[in-house]
Chains A and B, each alone.
Chain A
Amino acid sequence: MRIEALAGPWLGRLSLSALPTDSPVAMGAALVAVFGALGVAGYITGKGKWRYLWREWFTSVDHKRIGIMYVVLALVMLARAVIEALVMRLQQADAVNRSGFISAEHFGQLFSTHGSIMIFFMAMPFLTGVINYVMPLQIGARDVSFPVLNSISLMLTAAGAALVMISLVLAPFSTGGWSGYAPFTELRFSPGVGVDYWIWAVTLSSIGSTLTGINFAVTIYKKRAPGMHLFRMPLFCWTALCTSILMIFAMPALTVATALLALDRYLGMHFFTSGGGGNMMVYANLFWLFGHPEVYIVVLPSFGVFSELFSTFSAKKLYGYTSLVLATMTIAVLSFTVWLHHFFTMGQSAHINAAFGIATMLIGIPTGVKVYDWILTMFRGRVRFTTPLLWGLAFLVTFVIGGLSGILLAIPPVDFLVHNTTFLVAHFHNMLIPGTLFGMIAAYQFWFPKAFGFRLEERWGRVAFGCWVIGFYLAFMPLYVLGLEGMPRRSAEVFDEAFRPWLLVAAGGAVLIVLGMAALALQLAMSIRHRDRNRVRAGDPWDGRSLEWSTSSPPPEYNFAKLPEVQGRDAFWTMKRSGRAYPPLERYAPIMLPENSAIGPLLGALGLATAFGLVWRIGWMAGLGTAGALVAVIGWSFVRRPGRTVDERQVERTETRWHAVLVAAVPVSREHECDPRNRGLADVAA
């Protein structure tokens, strides 16, 4: 029994030896993390903004602010994980027939944090943030169904991310990869705290995501504006709905997998151990029962984003709307039927492999339907090559290449040949970088003016686009070749001189991608500096089609002074063409909004304390964290607050101010979309 380990001394297993003093690279990273955090905290203190942040952001339950916070979290984590990717590529290019500049142990931690962060703390928060911001506006709602729960989800996710950041300083992290396969991650083979960091970080984020899924699904079912039938929703909302359904049904499998692994490690049980009757295949099945739907959780929202982009920037309605909806639903259902293709080589019979291989190939059909629909949306449209659309075009080509390599991998005999090689690494990066990341970056470029009232600079956006796309091809196409030549994935060192040129090219690609990140940062900085020349406060910079563009930029906290009446698809586009887009000022009713709440940050902090205590076996901390969370939830259920009223005069003032902006703005034609003439009022006569 290892229960005693939980009741150890005050600091459990934590001591100064946790600092990564043995490796200069790891120490450097730890210092960057510490000084980065201190620098940000110092800056906020210097500006005296803590109170503002607490009152206006951390305790906010406004879906728009929560969405922005999710995206900020995702961008911070993206920066770390991209740099880790660069270190890994440099190491492999360096370590041909020699040991390179980082240890195998450190390399193992790098690919584990890189994968875990990219999925759980980059992709998930990014898409959750974008859905949070956009979806309620698109369906004509004032907020999500459960605003406080939304804040709790955000804070639990942030707590998980914080735990991963802490592991940079109080090392080590797991070396078991993002999938944490047992029995390697069992105590016998991984006795340190690394796997525990992974377990609790992932558990915090998966609880947050389950709650988010429930919240979004109920919002879409229950809070649509009058007339917004399901089949009138923008496609992005459909993908948000399917993603939410997948979250509700798939996340529990991850929670069960990590919980059982924790029981093995903490209490000496035998679920996935190599003795005592344990069976690691149960872990593989549970993990991928979550893991495969997860792939579609992160990819479907991007499909929604691209649907909006192709239609908006082609000034055409979406081609094959119904088929796109059905394809999205089909993908969501099929995603539960293919998990076994992640371990074709792990001992099932050929018949079972064949069945799952066929199911996997079937997913290519609805995805192909989508690709044709997107192409046909642009066909004979007046396509404008703005930055967001460029990401969309790069996605279209790149994603199809990745899909083709996926069809290859779906054939079990082929999978046997390239299993566990960099061919697989190339394939899934080839899906997830265009399919998730490009979509999210495009969403950020597309909806940024909505959220902040000014456009992002086009020039630096194009530089970032060029660096990312060329960098992607340089970094990952060589991995296909290396995989076919038999280079195993996750190798800290390689021993074949023939791999070197390809690895050098891949490292060059990684450098370009990091430059792409820098260009994105520069774009943001330049756009903030020159914001006055890119203001689009009237709210509709792209001649948008859905309801979020019918509000001011940024939208008022209540979103809509009067809930819109929806007559059909592309609601705002039709309103503009029939002159009903901007209703005249009138008498407004007071609007009830939920009050800010500290329960989200409180539960996030208690969750972090519990997780940290469990990682380092600090019993009192874990116990207090859990008990505190229970008390906090019960205590909160006794708090009765009526909500906050935005009175009619305040609504009228806000609306009057916006109408003044609308009157002052000169309608702009699409040729001048990207220059300072664009003030966010579209010229619909053209």
Chain B
Amino acid sequence: MSAGSASERRRHPGLNLHESDAHPSDGEVVFGFWVFMMSDAVLFALLFAVYASLGANTAGGPGPRDVFELDPAAMETLLLLSSFTFGIASLAMKYRRGMALLQGMLATTLLLGLGFLGLEVHDFVGMEDTGALPQVSAFLSAFYVLVPTHFLHVSLGCVWIVVMMVQLRMSGLDRITRTRLLRLGLFWHFLDIVWVMIFSFVFLRGLL
């Protein structure tokens, strides 16, 4: 298949994956990751369902109004900007705007991600100080599984960004690093979408 044909461009809009007979696996790798994301989405959907069915069971402990604060949650939502910076990184990759821009944008994304993690840790510690521990009630158990599962995903995403920055330094933009960046991007945007869900269904719904 000739690189850059019409059907090729349609397959990965916005990013040119040059496939050839010698390397037929790029499409499989990216498609496989999409399928994995579906499985991960089911996992989050189930955690949301658990939260929805146990969220009212405060068992005499604190409820959402007592423990949630809108400001830090909104701050964390601002860190969704990292999806934007990752988008610029992807464009830098697509239009070959130099390694400096790509690495810089990845570093910015990483910093925003770490900032998000730091703020969340701060929130969790604050909640625990008020006695809102996961052992108190089913509501808090469900909260402490749903939100920290997202936290864990973002942490792994940050590790992945570091690994990619190192691998880009070592071998530049080649077939392997390009598809890995593409998958990392999918992962990162997916986590932003999950955060929007958490912000809407957990924090906003709990406080409004």
Contact = CB atoms under 8 A, between A and B. Distances in A.
Nearest to A637: B163
Interface stretch (B26-34, B71-79, B114-122): B26-34
A292 B27 CA distance: 32
Given A210-B39, A252-B39, A637-B167, A270 B144 contact: no
B47 interface: yes
B35 to A, nearest CB: 5
Interface stretch (B88-96, B103-111, B132-140, B194-202): B132-140
Contact of B50 (A1, A223, A271): A271
Contacts of B58: 277
Given A263-B145, A269-B144, A275-B59, A638 B42 contact: no
A254 to B, nearest CB: 10
A222 interface: yes
B141 interface: yes
Contacts of B193: none
A244 to B, nearest CB: 9
A223 B28 contact: yes
A249 B141 contact: no
A365 interface: no
A260 B145 contact: yes
Interface string A207-230: 000100111011001110000000
A634 interface: yes
A534 B58 CA distance: 69
A278 interface: yes
A277 B43 contact: no
B20 interface: no
A249 B42 contact: yes
B38 A276 contact: no
Contact of A260 (B32, B50, B163): B50
A279 B138 contact: yes
Contact of B167 (A217, A260, A638): A638
Interface of B: 25, 27-28, 31-32, 35-36, 38-40, 42-43, 46-47, 50, 53-54, 57-59, 134-139, 141-142, 144-145, 159, 163, 167, 170-171, 176, 180
Interface in A436-459: none
B142 A218 contact: no
A276 B138 contact: yes
Interface of A: 1, 145-146, 210, 213-215, 217-218, 221-223, 248-249, 251-253, 255-256, 259-260, 263-264, 267-271, 275-279, 282, 286, 289, 630, 634, 637-638, 640
Contact of A256 (B50, B134, B171, B180): B50
Given A268-B135, A269-B135, A637-B180, 19 more contacts: A145-B32, A210-B39, A217-B35, A218-B28, A218-B31, A222-B31, A248-B38, A248-B39, A252-B39, A256-B46, A260-B50, A270-B135, A270-B141, A271-B142, A276-B59, A277-B58, A277-B59, A279-B54, A638-B170
21 contacts: A146-B28, A222-B27, A222-B28, A248-B35, A249-B39, A252-B39, A252-B43, A256-B43, A256-B46, A259-B145, A268-B135, A269-B144, A270-B59, A271-B138, A276-B135, A277-B58, A278-B54, A282-B50, A630-B159, A634-B163, A640-B171
Most buried by B among A249, A264, A275, A637: A637
Contacts of A269: 134-135, 141, 144-145
Contacts of B27: 222
Given A145-B25, A271-B50, A286-B50, A214 B57 contact: no
A259 B141 CA distance: 12
Given A249-B38, A253-B42, A277 B163 contact: no
B50 A214 contact: no
A369 B114 CA distance: 56
Contacts of A278: 54, 57, 138, 141
B33 to A, nearest CB: 9
A267 B135 CA distance: 7
Given A252-B46, A269-B141, A276 B32 contact: no
Contacts of A286: 46, 50
Contacts of A634: 159, 163
A145 B32 CA distance: 9
Contacts of B145: 259-260, 263, 269, 271
Nearest to A251: B39
Given A256-B43, A286-B46, A214 B32 contact: yes
Contacts of A270: 57, 59, 135-138, 141
B124 to A, nearest CB: 14
Most buried by A among B50, B59, B145: B50
Contacts of B170: 638
Contact of A277 (B32, B40, B57): B57
B54 A252 contact: no
Contacts of B35: 214, 217-218, 248
Contacts of A1: 135
B151 to A, nearest CB: 15
Contacts of B137: 270, 276-277
Contacts of B39: 210, 213-214, 248-249, 251-252
Contacts of A260: 50, 145
Nearest to B180: A637
Contacts of B50: 256, 260, 271, 282, 286
A267 B134 contact: yes
B173 to A, nearest CB: 14
A484 B50 CA distance: 37
A256 B142 contact: no
A255 B43 contact: yes
Contacts of A213: 39
Contacts of A146: 28, 32
A392 B43 CA distance: 37
A256 B46 CA distance: 7
Contacts of B57: 270, 276-279
Given A218-B31, A218-B35, A221-B31, A277 B42 contact: no
Contacts of B46: 252-253, 256, 286, 289
Contacts of A249: 38-39, 42
Contacts of A251: 39
Contacts of B40: 252
Nearest to B144: A269
Contact of A271 (B31, B54, B136, B159): B54
A255 B43 CA distance: 8
Please list the 3 inter-chain residue pairs (A to B) with the smallest Cβ-Cβ separation, ordered nearest first. A277-B57, A277-B138, A277-B59
